[in-house]
Structure 1
């Protein structure tokens, strides 16, 4: 889809994206991830656990220097939705998608073929938290078929040397995340904590890691998502400046832990 229809779809983004009926619904997290990454010029990206493609599309629109993105998701319904969304947004020439289990990266993905990897993996360890009644939602929220180490191993495999991983993950699992990155030879280089409000504990962490990178790490100022309380809750000016796509849902009232 091109022309005026695609322009209107981009203006409304992320509203209007197609998602599988009854399946997992994306939150603010992939939009924050797309705004956080800093792609080098003319690199190709891969989006691990891409869902309906929201992180891929946000990154492609926010970063014109990004050449293309490959979305990989284990759920064929999500793959279908992402391809439909690419056509809706007029991004089909820069986006492709495959139904793929990232645990099979060494068998199905070309090594060192991507300069950037996006990852918004399942946040919850299987057996913890409230279970989902729907199998597709379970795959999206729980490490049922691919945990943190699997996502990091796939990222290392597909990234070019000194390529960059961008990930969003629960702040409560920060120690685990940093240790796993170092073990996978993905050096943490840039971190930013995401708070619902600055007087509350961080709920999410944005991470940039570099394949075979050095040891120095930059801790960026915290990102506060909301101002006000109760009926006065609104996205903060800082959050809207950080990711303009959040303006499509400027009255959102929760910092999700998917």
Structure 2
């Protein structure tokens, strides 16, 4: 079942480069998928699989920065899968979107291996916290499929030397690292802190299939200027503003704390 036009808003990403339809009530992509896409060091002609692609924001942001990537998305909720297809077509970007549970991928995806697999898995364990009233929002935010399944499926779909990149709540970092087995190495962990002197609230973790390099805990990237919220205004640091408004990369080597 597809969303009705009256139930959707039209939102701008990357300073208006992308126009994306999202449900007015339900899961709405914010900065997280944009940050995820910015850390993917893809080249034109690379193949990219997004698990749990939602409305397609992360994949489309990556394609806007790296034209020529080949995009495949998997999304369990049929209405969001349809929305991802429509958003890709509306922005002139080719993306094959499959409506499927990532634990039961269609043959078309099982027959492929990818240079990059990206994911923004649900952040919250449903043993804790309250369930969202909207079913789509709940499916996007509350974990049903364990992180171990997300990482295992992603790892199996990677080419040798391919990269897995995941954004996750910082509190789930131990579970995320525990889900990564010996098939992946060269792990890089990028903490994202809301302000100077504040604990990280998000982490981006990247690993490479078949790599043997030691893990790296990178210097945190600070999201907002100042030590506290001081008014209703945009306060992103220049580095984050460049990512969100201009589609700049957020590299995981030589990361600048600003």
Moved over 6 A (4+): none
State whether residues 43 and 66 of structure 2, in contact with CA within 8 Å, keep that contact through their aligned partners in structure 1: no
Q: How does 1:237-248 map to 2 (within 5 A)?
A: 237-245=238-246
Q: How does 1:205-224 map to 2 (within 5 A)?
A: 205-224=203-222
Residue 219 (structure 1) shift? 2.9
Alignment CA distance shift 1:212-1:111 (3 Å) = farther
Residue 165 (structure 1) shift? 0.4
Partner of 1:129: 129
Q: 3-state DSSP class of the match of 2:208?
A: strand
Alignment CA distance shift 1:81-1:36 (3 Å) = same
Alpha-carbon separation, structure 1, partners of 2:221 and 2:13: 28
Higher helix share: 1
Q: 3-state DSSP class of the match of 1:234?
A: coil
Partner of 1:42: 45
Alignment CA distance shift 1:9-1:150 (3 Å) = closer
Residue 243 (structure 1) shift? 4.3
> Residues 147-186 of structure 1: CA distance to partner in whole angstroms, max 9, x if unpaired?
2111111101211112110110111121221121126x22
Counterpart check, 1:102 vs 2:106: no
Counterpart check, 1:22 vs 2:21: no
Q: 3-state DSSP class of the match of 1:235?
A: coil
Residue 118 (structure 1) shift? 0.8
> Residues 64-90 of structure 1: CA distance to partner in whole angstroms, max 9, x if unpaired?
3x5211111101111111111111111
Partner of 2:162: 163
Aligned residues: 234
Match of 1:55 among 47, 50, 58: 58
Partner of 1:254: none
Q: 3-state DSSP class of the match of 2:21?
A: coil
Q: 3-state DSSP class of the match of 1:193?
A: strand
RMSD: 2.3
Higher strand share: 2
State whether residues 36 and 166 of structure 2, in contact with CA within 8 Å, keep that contact through their aligned partners in structure 1: yes
Alignment CA distance shift 1:233-1:85 (3 Å) = closer
Residue 112 (structure 1) shift? 5.2
**What 5-or-longer segments of structure 1 have no aligned partner?**
1-7, 248-258
Q: 3-state DSSP class of the match of 2:74?
A: strand
> Residues 31-87 of structure 1: CA distance to partner in whole angstroms, max 9, x if unpaired?
0000011124522100001000000000111123x5211111101111111111111
> Residues 229-248 of structure 1: CA distance to partner in whole angstroms, max 9, x if unpaired?
2315511112123444479x
What is the TM-score with the length of structure 1 in the denominator? 0.82
Residue 10 (structure 1) shift? 7.3
**What 5-or-longer segments of structure 2 have no aligned partner?**
1-11, 249-258
Quick check: 126-135 or 194-203, which moved more? 126-135
Alpha-carbon separation, structure 1, partners of 2:154 and 2:43: 17
